[in-house]
Every structure is written in C-alpha cells, then in structure tokens.
Structure 1
Amino acid sequence: MTKIHTTADLLNDKLVDMAFITAFSGLSDKWFYKLIQSGLFPKPIKMGRSSRWLRSEVETWMQQRIADSRGT
C-alpha cells in the first residue's frame, strides 16, 4: 500500500538519487533496479529523465531488511 505524504512530511524529507542509495547501502544500482522491477524497492519519483526517492522510504526499506535478517 502506498503511503500518502502530507506537505509537512515532504518538507521534512529529502529527495535522494541512486548515487546516494548505492553509497548508503554499498550495493549496485543494477541490483536496486532489479528490486524496483520486482516490486521489492520503492518506485522512483520521475522528474523528467531523473529519478529520485524519498530518503525516508529508503531508510525505512533498509531498516526492514535489517529487522528481517535478524528475525525481529
């Protein structure tokens, strides 16, 4: 289910690019694009030819992976 973000949410968030995501995770962009295609990573926000993600969604995704790997 997609979360509807309020204006306050967006003002307190930041848009990040794939370079940020790969540096943050240590994983390749190709791996993330495969996850996006399979619905396992948030879809990008398209701005012309650029793709961006809400930092909070990337961080939530990462926190869930950590919790899943630790059985919590």
Structure 2
Amino acid sequence: MTQTAETLVFNPSPLRLLKLDEVKAKTSLGSSTIYRYIDDGLFPRPRKVGAMAVRWLESEVDDWIVNRPPTGRSSS
C-alpha cells in the first residue's frame, strides 16, 4: 500500500484590516497616490466594511510592498 504525504499550508497570522492612515504609514504613499494606483490596477482594492468605510487586507498590502519593483535611478 502506498501512502502519499499531503502538504498543509498554515497561516498563523489572523486576517487584519487596515484603515487608510495605516496603509499610508506602511507604504509611505499619500492618499491620492494610493487611489490613483488602485484606479490603474497597481494597488490592492479596499473592502467595503460599512456604508462609508473601507479597509485593506494587511496581507495584500504587505504582498504589494514585497513584490513592488525597486524604484530610483539606475546607475549606468
């Protein structure tokens, strides 16, 4: 009898929702830039959590930070 091992992925950190001020602090971006990037498809969309409230998933913002290409001038 052959047994196969299954790999389980466990994420120990709970989901956390961020307010705009927290997103700005984590990314060092201003509100206008964040919303422009969202419109351009370059930044995660927030989730609507109330009639006039939105929040971002911290994991999506963190992924954006990690996967963002480096900026600045290249020295050629």
> TM bucket by the smaller chain?
0.7 to 0.9
- What is the RMSD of the two structures over their aligned residues, measured on CA atoms? 1.9
Percent identity, aligned pairs only?
32
TM-score by length of 1: 0.73
Unaligned runs of 5+ in 1: 1-7
Structure 1 residue 25 displacement after superposition: 1.7
Counterpart for residue 17 of structure 1: 19
Instruction: Give a deviation string over 1:16-69, Cα, whole Å, max 9, x none.
Output: 01100111122101100000111111111012211101000000000001xx22
Counterpart CA distance in 2 for 1:40 and 1:22 is 15
In structure 1, give the amino acid aligned to 2:63: T
Counterpart for residue 70 of structure 2: 69
Greater share of residues in helix = 1
Query: How many residues end up aligned between the 2 structures?
Result: 60
Counterpart for residue 54 of structure 1: 57
Unaligned runs of 5+ in 2: 1-9, 72-76
